[in-house]
Amino acid sequence: MSAIRTRDLVKEYRLGRDNVVRALAGVDLEVEAGEFVALLGKSGSGKSTLLNVVGGLDRPTAGQVAVGGTELADLSERDLAAFRARTVGFVFQSFHLQPRYPAWENVALPLVFLGVGRRERRRRAAALLDDVGLAHRIDHRPAELSGGEQQRVAFARSLVSEPRVLLADEPTGNLDSETSRQIAGLLESAHERGATLLLVTHDREMAEGSADRVIRMADGRIEGAS
Amino acid sequence: MTGRASPASLLALAVDGLRRKIGRNLLTIGGVFIGVFALTLIVSLGEGMTRLVETAVSGEDNLRQIGLSGGLGRPLGDESEIEIFGEMSDARRKRLRRAALARTRHGTFIGRRVRALDAASLAELEEIEHVEVARPIVLERYEMTAGERETEATATLGVDVRRGRYADRVIEGRYFTTPGADEALIHEYLAYQWGCVSDEELRSLLGIELVLEPIRNPSGGGFASSGFLAEMLGRLDLSALSEEERQAFPKIVEKLGRGLFGGGGAATVPKRHVVTVVGIVRELEAGDAIRVIEDGNASRVDVFLPLDTATRFFFEQPVNREIGFGRSYVVVDDAEHVGEVETELRKRGFTAFSVASVISRIGGFLGALTIVVSLLTGVALLVAALGIVNTMVTSVLERTHEIGLWKAVGATSGQVRTVFLLEAAMIGLLGGLLGLGVALLVQIPADALALRMISERAAFPLQGSVFHVPAWLPVAGPLLAAGIAMLAALYPAHRAARVDPVRALRHE
């Protein structure tokens, strides 16, 4: 069974009365469970939109999208929230960490909405921060961390609810090459542990070096794969 | 599949939100504080005043008593009995007669006094259903001699011996032996004026004889030169009397003058009364049972006589036999029947008033006042609510990105809404608790101050508090504030719940 499957996926944004932007123009995509797929393409090609729709952050205008066998169109708003909490993990280019929270609370944020108690949240967050090499930074706030460390915290957060699918949107876009390699290593490590990965990136070298398959997108469509 | 966040987790997020803009939130809390502070004070004051009045006057006997005022004996209510003098049109005469009738019916103190209170009418009163006893209030002034001591215009009061009145206030000697005994109790203040301070000196007064004589006019002339009566009569407002009453008034006063001051005639020879002091009565203390109607004029009484004795002395004055008692009261078998008896008394032409009806009027007034002021307090809470709306909307706008992240990692719209409602509830609760706490603290000095001011002016010693916090208020006040705050936060919380995570995260 495919981990991710889209059929004729369309996403349009209405900008003003007569201006409709078609971000996805009929995307058919299949990602097998445990597969690491990279989406390459220029800005505006629809990569991030595809990631948001697959991750349940956005609903498609038309077409179908199923993740782990669950058809997202059938989910209520509440169930879609639960899907985001349990089934997928996001890694964003801008990290999106809460400046007031220490590292462990940022990592454990998804668990708050799953009803996990504070002590268990801290235990799980500590274990993940240890995995990404930040055990010594557990109580540090984002402002006290480097860019690479912040992205590692964000990466740990994406894994805290043990999702089957990891969605990474330009995770190295704001990082230098050395730090990017560290993040790529973390992604590969997650892949090796069985996670399905969909990575959006501009970095051809990273995509071809880490992913099982590279898909190129342009103008809201899949142009080819390698 | 659906996760359920624990309330504690969402509460922690709400607390964190509150701590973000502490100054702004404190100002918002201040708005709620003012509302609940005022509400607590107003409700407590209303409750306290009502209880204070009720505690002071609503003893078992008070609620069963109805007071009556003696009148001139002319029934009112018939328009044709009122004569309008002077030349005028019939239409005008009719209008003036109606106006005169209206004025005698309502609001005029003397005009409402109709039936005379004498032995016959008191007997009639006792025949009315539910009336247990009818007693006169015999409050008289005498010139008094006790050995070498002389006192002018000593106030005496008839005490209902059958009901053991004032027995609990005897601090030296004993109580009366019979309702008609020639005995007297004297007030401890009179004893003090006589220079008797120690217990031994007080005891030395027991057994002495008091000679009571009706007050004479020092000059031997009419009442006008008698300081006491002239002063009292001079204060009367005769404008409320009908022409007929005004014409009758000098005759009554003339009789009064002859009766009290010996203005000529064999019937006016005053009689001396001799009574023996058997005990000393102390002044009222807080906690004493006060019969408002019976004791209304007793605060300046120096000498207490058995009621039958006082009545006998009273009727030995010819004028008193003619005009009857100034006041009397009836005791009803049950407080529930007071209204019914009061109506019956008025129907029979008596001027009647009961403590129950006065309490009811006071309670109604205080209740209405409390409602009006509470509504004003409600305005303060409404303003506080608008402050909460403003604060929460601003908070949602400032935290849009954060809300987007919450939703991206799995928060439902309901959870987001709950966080903001909890945040508002805490603003309300904190403001409410603060308002309640400060109001309770302020009540301590305010209560002492208000009670002192009231006690200085009240005829009876009061005990209790001017403020009384009803049991429901400490719970309802803060909860009301929290409820209002949550209502105010419904719109901002709804906006927060509708945040689109994709847009929110894009616009960091």
Residue pLDDT, tens place only, B438-471: 999 999 999 888 888 877 766 666 667 888 888 9
Q: In this predicted structure, what is the pLDDT of residue B91?
A: 87
Task: Give A-chain residues touching B6 at CB under 8 angstroms.
Answer: 115, 117
- Poorest-confidence range of B21-35, B279-293, B421-435? B279-293
**φ, ψ at A151 (rounded to 5°):** -70, -30
The answer to whether A55 and A84 are in contact (CB under 8 A) is yes
**How many angstroms separate the Cα of B340 from the Cα of each of A81, B113, B152, B353, B354?**
71, 20, 43, 12, 11
Exposed (0-12), middle (13-18) or buried (19+): which is B190, by Cβ within 10 Å? buried
Residue of A nearest to B403 (CA): A98
Binary contact (B410, A85; C-beta < 8 A): yes
Which chain B residue is nearest to residue A52, measuring alpha carbons? B502
User: What secondary structure letter does DSSP report for A101?
Assistant: S
Chain B residues in contact with A113 (beta carbon < 8 A): 3, 5, 9, 406, 409-412, 415
Return the residue of A nearest to B414 by Cα: A78
3-state secondary structure of B151: strand
Residue written as token pair 């706030």 = A141
Per-residue pLDDT of chain A (226 residues; tens, 9 = 90+): 789 999 999 999 888 888 888 999 989 999 999 999 999 988 888 999 999 999 999 999 999 999 988 899 889 999 999 999 999 999 988 889 999 999 999 999 999 999 898 999 999 999 999 988 899 999 999 999 998 899 999 989 999 988 989 999 988 887 788 888 888 888 888 888 888 999 998 888 888 888 899 999 999 998 876 7
B-chain CB neighbours of A79 within 8 Å are 1-2
Distance (Å, whole) CA A39 – CA A211: 9
B21 touches chain A (CB under 8 A): no
Ramachandran category for residue A16: left, alpha or beta (phi over 0 → left; psi -120 to 50 → alpha): left
Q: Of B12, B16, B125, B5, which is closest to residue B65 (Cα–Cα)?
A: B125
Whether A84 sits inside 8 A of B407 (CB atoms) is yes
- Residue B289 carries which side chain, given as an amino acid letter? A
Query: pLDDT category, B223, cuts 50, 70, 90?
Result: very low
Whether the CB of B507 is below 8 Å from some CB of chain A: the reply is no
A110/B412 touch (CB, cutoff 8 Å), yes or no: no
Band (pLDDT 50/70/90 cuts) for residue B221 is very low
Best probe of the A interface among B409, B412, B413, B502, by most A CBs < 10 A, is B409
Q: Do B409 and A85 touch (CB under 8 A)?
A: yes
Q: Are B158 and B184 in contact (CB under 8 A)?
A: no
List the single residue in B with minimal CA-CA distance to A53: B502
Beta bridge partners of A12: A22
Q: How far is A209 from chain B (nearest CA, A)?
A: 28
Between chains, do A113 and B2 touch, taking CB under 8 Å as contact?
no
Contact B478, B384 (CB under 8 A): no
Identify the H or E element spanning A25: strand A20-32
Task: Give the one of A86, A94, A112 whose C-beta lies nearest to B508's C-beta.
Answer: A94
Is the four-CA dihedral A188, A84, A118, B419 of positive or negative sign? positive
Contact yes or no for B478/B379 (Cβ under 8 A) = no
Asked if B11 has any chain A CB less than 8 Å from its own CB, the reply is: no
CB B3 to CB A112 under 8 A? Answer: no
Give the mean pLDDT of B353-364.
Answer: 78
Q: Under an 8 A CB cutoff, do B16 and A109 touch?
A: no
Cα distance between residue B337 and residue B355, in whole Å: 13
Give the nearest partner residue to A79 out of B1, B9, B415, using CB atoms: B1
Residue B227 has pLDDT above 50, yes or no: no
| CA distance linking residue B64 with residue B59, whole number of Å | 9
Mean pLDDT of B181-210: 90
**pLDDT at residue B270 greater than cutoff 80:** no
Regarding predicted confidence, which is higher, B56 or B405? B405
Residues of B in contact with A110 (CB under 8 A): 409-410
Q: How many other C-beta atoms can be found within 10 angstroms of the C-beta atom of residue B417?
A: 20
Residue with tokens 């984002």: A142
d(CA B228, CA B486): 68
- Please provide the DSSP assignment of B312-362 as one string: HHHHTSHHHHHH-BSEEEEEESSGGGHHHHHHHHHHTT-EEEEHHHHHHHH
Nearest residue to A85 via CA among B503, B5, B423: B5
When pLDDT is cut at 50, 70 and 90, the band that residue B483 belongs to is very high
Q: Are B36 and B437 in contact (CB under 8 A)?
A: no
Inspect the interface and report whether the beta carbons of B406 and A94 lie closer than 8 Å. Answer: no
CB contact at 8 A, A38 and A213: yes
pLDDT band of B380, cuts 50, 70, 90: confident
Nearest CA in chain B to A98: B402
Q: Which of A92, A113, A114 sits opposite B505 (nearest CB)?
A: A92
Indicate yes or no: CB of B401 within 8 angstroms of CB of A96.
yes
* Interatomic CA distance for residues B277 and B274, integer angstroms: 10
Contacts of residue B176, Cβ cutoff 8 Å, sequence gap at least 6: B159, B161, B183, B185, B278, B306
Q: Report whether A131 contacts A156 (CB < 8 A).
A: yes
Contacts of A85 in chain B (CB under 8 A): 3, 409-411
Please tell me the number of Cα atoms within 13 Å of B185 on its side-chain side: 33
Q: Map residue B282 onto helix, strand or coil.
A: coil
The residue in chain B having the minimum alpha-carbon distance to the alpha carbon of residue A88 is B409
Query: Inter-chain contact A112–B401, Cβ cutoff 8 Å?
Result: no
Q: Is B7 on the interface with A (CB under 8 A)?
A: no
pLDDT at B147 over 70: yes
Return the residue of A nearest to B415 by Cα. Answer: A113
Q: Which residues share a beta bridge with B117?
A: B325
What are the b/e assignments for B335-371, b being 16+ CB within 10 Å?
Answer: beebeebbebbeeebbbbbbbbebbeeeeeebeeebe
Distance from CA of A101 to the nearest CA of B (A): 10
Q: How far apart are CA B358 and CA B197, in angstroms?
A: 39
Q: Find the chain A residues whose C-beta atoms sit closer than 8 A to any C-beta of B.
A: 52, 57-58, 77-79, 81-86, 90, 92, 94, 96, 98, 100, 109-110, 112-115, 117-118, 157, 161
Position B487 confidence tier, pLDDT thresholds 50, 70, 90: very high
Domains delineated in chain A? 35-59+76-225 (3.40.50.300)
Q: Do A110 and B20 touch (CB under 8 A)?
A: no
Size of interface A-B (CB pairs under 8 A): 86
For every residue of B39-72, DSSP letters joined together read HHHHHHHHHHHHHHHHHHH-STTGGGEEEEE---
Bridge partner list, B331: B65, B133
